[in-house]
Each structure stands twice: as structure tokens, then as C-alpha cells.
Chains A and B, each alone.
Chain A
């Protein structure tokens, strides 16, 4: 059994720690490249969304290198992702690969059941430890990334360096105390280099989780905006998803209720994926005096298409500019750059001349 899983930002580091802890060898899929995209696109239905294509590419490249067990997530609700595991399995079987596919549904009982299959020789204590280490790595990565948000606009290179260093150290770390030390060190470094009198533009990032978290797919959006001197706040991190959807922690459910209430005048019910949260976050962030919102999602993403068509009204009522960026394998970098530059110019002049009423 050689386990592999798709890439989504730092997800591979977390899953690697988990499965190694459960006593299984893992194979990180090769980093996403143009080849991954080409392979995935070639064997996918044309109108399926980008996450499907890229993760399929990940699987093919990992299978080529000898992986035989694919781990992916399922899902519930109107978003098509819930069915992707099954469809990808069918496609890969038709291509002649021999493998087993483990689809993990967003339900903690199912997670444990599936993972017991993987870790049948391990004691409960060992399983608990594996989860703790993987969880600690996930939280550590997210904490560092969140802290870097405020450093990046004026120390882009330093932020990149600290991030790369921390990612590598966390990937290699074996114990929880080691992970804590890395976080402490990095956060200290960030704090030391921060300048407090700097007031950059603040942009909130809303939309679909995969596009938001995977820099290859969103063309390094957070970094690009960072080099333009903009502070970018993602509304979703891996840890939010795990704590909210998997562990159903109280604070996350409360936060969701809050967003739901905010979005209510515009959208009264769940539409799948993160559509409703995109609207709720836009309203919340306008109240927190963000300068603008960028919505990102893959082409043909149904929940976000619904949100996109509601956002102009929200933008007008809340007096906050919103830019929607749609990604697929055809996305040209030049077009995205032009829109980003123009959006930043717009936000800057608004800031300079005061916010205009009745946008």
C-alpha cells in the first residue's frame, strides 16, 4: 500500500504526517506543473471544474510513480465535488491503472471508519497521536500564513523566505513540541520585521476553497497582490474547513450562523460549496472597513456563480468594490494582471478621495 492524495496548498504536508503516523508509506504527488494540468484536462470532461482536472492530474502523476492507494474527499450538497471521487475512479480505471480509492466523506464517523481500514494494526493511542501531529502541522502552517499577511505587502521577499523555511521545517518536524517551536520562532521573526505605521490596502479574499488555497491554480494571487503592496486576508484556511465541516466545532458553527444571518437579505438558503459564505463574508468585511473584496472560483462552479450574480447588489448596498476572478486551464495571466492592477488603482483612488456614496 502506497498512499497518495491531491495537492491543495499545504494539504499534502498534513496528510503525509497523518498517514506516516498511521504507519503507512506515502508518496507525495509531484508538484503541480503545466504537465499536471495537461494530463488532467486531457482525461476530464470539458465543462467540469478546475479542481477536478488538476487533482486528476495529481493522481495520474502519482500512479505513474507507483502509488496504489488514492485518498480523496467526498462531499454533500449541491456542489459537484461530492461526486468527483467516483468519476475520477472510473476515468483512472478506464486508463488501465490498478489502485484502491478511499473517499472520505465530511463526517467524522466516516473518517474514522475509513482510516481504521488504513491503520488496522495501530493502537488507538497511536492513531490519536498521528491525528494530533497532523493537526498541529495544519494549525502551525495556517497560523504562520495568517501572520505573514501583514508582513507581505512591504517585505515580500522576506515573507517568501520565512514561509518557505517554515514549510520545510514543519514538513520535517516529528513532534508536536518541535512544531510549536517553529511557529513561535517564525511568528517572532515576523513581528520583529513588522512596521506599525504602514497602512496598506486591505483586501478580503472570498470564494471557492480549492482555488483560494492552491497557488498554482490561482496564479499566486496572494503573492502577486503582496508585491503590489496589498494586504490579502483569506476567508478560508484548511484548518477552518477541518474544524468547521469535519469536527463541527462550536465556534465555527456559530461563525457560520453569523454569516448566514448577514447574507439572509440576499440569499436565504444554502446553495452548496461556499456561495453563501462568499456573500456573508463580503458583508462582514465591508463592516470591518476592508477596502475591497476579490472573489475567486473555478469556471462552471455553480455555488459561486450564484454568489457572483448577487455580489453586485451587495457591493452597491455595502459600498465596497468587488472583483470576481474566474479560473480555468485557459486563464491568461495578462488578463488577470490588467484587472488586478485596475482594481488596485480603483481602491487607491477611493481611499485617497474618500469613499463615494452610491457606487
Chain B
């Protein structure tokens, strides 16, 4: 079967999605990045190969904060930022979507879409309060499995008010509330409301949030967050079936679009999963810029260099994407 592969390598999760010629999602993998993006991608490729040995990849797209690195390793046809990828995926699922709320591991974004075009977007600027990592951390502190966080929050009867401006203050506020005897469910619901408040006043500041509103990213799994968003916005918030891998869906769709005009994919093949990838970084002393150069070796040969301003290193090697 001929398919397209989308890879989204974020701070917390690495997602791989396979779509077919019609854009239907065939398979979706959600793996933890655990600080080793290349290993995570290789592991994902191995899994896909094991389940579907008959797949022939017609195009590959990457996104996420490790999109460039991943693009070089696997040989990507399209390397796109997360905002575009999420917007493309959202419009694919709900063509008339007008607002996309996306909360991932380290960042949160809002994308405003009108008539099928992204007209405005924003990302969290200075603080990661309210993103997946913070929720993870709080769940761990209360020894609640993150999967149960949302259900417990839904049981709240009188949610407490928590200061959500800053992760550190939110945490001390939560501890204070817990020490004065508030039930956990009320605290968790209060936290969800605080994070939504913070999101809307920080990321969503000045944006016209119109329905249909799509909520995606790992945090969309949290039912407490969905409910808090619906209460704050006063409208229904839709969570797409593949909410946690929407970036990868978008990357696959972008690869498919790219391949309309390209003949042959740059994909190195599933063998990449077994390549020995050795990245190394060093400071170039060629001039006063002292650029931090990253060199990536695949099976012992230099596949690409980047990070230089002048092109001294990046010109030496041709990247797989070009």
C-alpha cells in the first residue's frame, strides 16, 4: 500500500502517523521522546515496519521542535513548523474550523482560521505554566496517574481558585489549598480553570475565538481541561479523535501536498531505524560569531551540518531534504 508518513517530534512526545492517498489516517503512534529524539523516531519506524511490512512510503513530512534534525535523519520531503502542521490537520478533520487550541508538552498555541486560511496565531511567550509538562508534574506530586487527572477533576463540587499566572506560584497555591483541607477533585478542577484563564488571557489575548473550536495536543486528553475551556468560552469544544498526534497528521498531509509536484521521495527507507546516528556539536572558531555547529553522522559518514551563520559548514554537505 502506498502511504505518507508524518513525524512530529516534540519536547515530550514523538508521534508518527501514516495516511493513505485519500488522507485517511491508517496508523498513529504516540511515543515518549525522553530527551532522545533520534532514538524515539527510530523506535517508531521499527514499530511501523513490524506491523505493516508491505507499506511503501511515498512521502515524509516532519514537524515539531526537532523537525530539522528528524528531517535530515529520515530524509523528509517537507519540513514544516508546528503551527502550520496543526492548522492543516485541523482543517482536514473539520473543514470549517475557525479556532484551534493546542496545548502540548512545552508550548501552547492558538490558531485563528477564517475561510480555510490561517489569519492569526500566537504562542505562549515567557512561561510554560499550563502546558502538559506542568500538569504531568502536578499529577506526579499528588501520585495521581495523569490519565485519571481529568476524571477526578470532573467530580469537583466547589472548584477552588488557584493563581495560574506562574507555575511556581500555582504549585504553592495548590499546596496551600491541600493543607487547608480542600478535596483533591476541587483542587484539580481549580487548577484546570486557572490554566484555561491563563491561556485565554496570555495566548488568546485579543483573539476572536469563534466556533467550531478544536482542542488538540496531548493536554486535550484531560477532560477537566475540556470542561474548563467550554465553561470559559461558552461554546462547545471539539476534541478530534487523533487529538494527540495532530501535528504528525498535518506533517503527513503537507508531505502529500509536496509530493504532488515532486517525483521521488527523499525518504531513506525503513533501514534508517537501524542506522547508527551520532550527532556532535562544537564551537566554530572561524570568526567572532562562535556559532555552535551540529554535525550529524549516519553510519559513520557526515550527513549534514547546521547551526552556522556563514554557510562554511552547512554548504559542505548536502542535506537529504534538498
> Is the pair A356, B115 in contact by a Cβ cutoff of 8 Å?
yes
Within 8 A of B (CB), among A255-300: none
Interface size, chain A (Cβ < 8 Å): 29
A172 within 8 A of B: no
Closest to B123 in A: A339
Q: Which of B45-53, B81-89, B213-221 is the contact stretch?
A: B81-89
> Is the pair A359, B81 in contact by a Cβ cutoff of 8 Å?
no
Q: Which of A312, A321, A346, A353 has the most CB of B within 10 A?
A: A346
Contact of B81 among A160, A216, A321, A342 (CB under 8 A): A342
B172 within 8 A of A: no
Interface size, chain B (Cβ < 8 Å): 24
Q: How far is the CB of B127 from chain A (nearest CB, A)?
A: 12
B270 within 8 A of A: no
Within 8 A of B (CB), among A313-359: 321, 326, 334-335, 337-339, 341-343, 345-346, 349-350, 353, 356, 358-359
Complex Cα–Cα for A335 and B65 (A): 9
Q: Which residues of A contact B121 (CB under 8 A)?
A: 342-343, 346
> Is the pair B119, A345 in contact by a Cβ cutoff of 8 Å?
no
A122 within 8 A of B: no
> Is the pair B123, A157 in contact by a Cβ cutoff of 8 Å?
no
Contact of A349 among B107, B118, B123, B311 (CB under 8 A): B118
B206 within 8 A of A: yes
B117 within 8 A of A: yes
> Is the pair B290, A321 in contact by a Cβ cutoff of 8 Å?
no
A341-B84, A356-B114 known; A346+B119 contact, CB < 8 A? yes
> Is the pair A349, B117 in contact by a Cβ cutoff of 8 Å?
yes
> Is the pair A341, B117 in contact by a Cβ cutoff of 8 Å?
no
Q: Which residues of A contact B116 (CB under 8 A)?
A: 353
Complex Cα–Cα for A119 and B65 (A): 54
Complex Cα–Cα for A302 and B115 (A): 36
Within 8 A of B (CB), among A22-81: 30-34
> Is the pair B289, A338 in contact by a Cβ cutoff of 8 Å?
no
Interface SS, B side: loop
A220 within 8 A of B: yes
Complex Cα–Cα for A259 and B272 (A): 57
> Is the pair A31, B81 in contact by a Cβ cutoff of 8 Å?
no
Q: Which residues of B contact A334 (CB under 8 A)?
A: 65
A31-B288, A356-B114 known; A338+B206 contact, CB < 8 A? no
A312-B206, A345-B83 known; A338+B311 contact, CB < 8 A? no
Complex Cα–Cα for A31 and B115 (A): 48
Write out, one digit per residue, whether chain B residues 39-66 have a CB within 8 A of any chain A CB (1) or not (0): 0000000000000000000000000010
Complex Cα–Cα for A166 and B65 (A): 37
Write out, one digit per residue, whether chain B residues 65-82 have a CB within 8 A of any chain A CB (1) or not (0): 100000000000000111
List of 5 A-B pairs having minimum Cβ-Cβ separation, nearest first: A342-B83, A31-B288, A341-B81, A345-B84, A312-B206
Kindly list 9 other residue pairs between chains A and B, CB separation below 8 angstroms, not including A31-B288, A33-B289. A220-B309, A334-B65, A337-B81, A338-B65, A338-B83, A345-B80, A346-B120, A359-B114, A359-B119
Chain B residues near A (Cβ < 8 Å): 65, 80-84, 107, 114-121, 123, 125, 206, 288-290, 309-311
Q: What are 14 pairs between A and B in contact, CB < 8 Å?
A: A30-B288, A34-B290, A157-B311, A220-B309, A321-B119, A326-B125, A334-B65, A338-B82, A341-B83, A342-B84, A345-B84, A353-B116, A353-B117, A356-B117
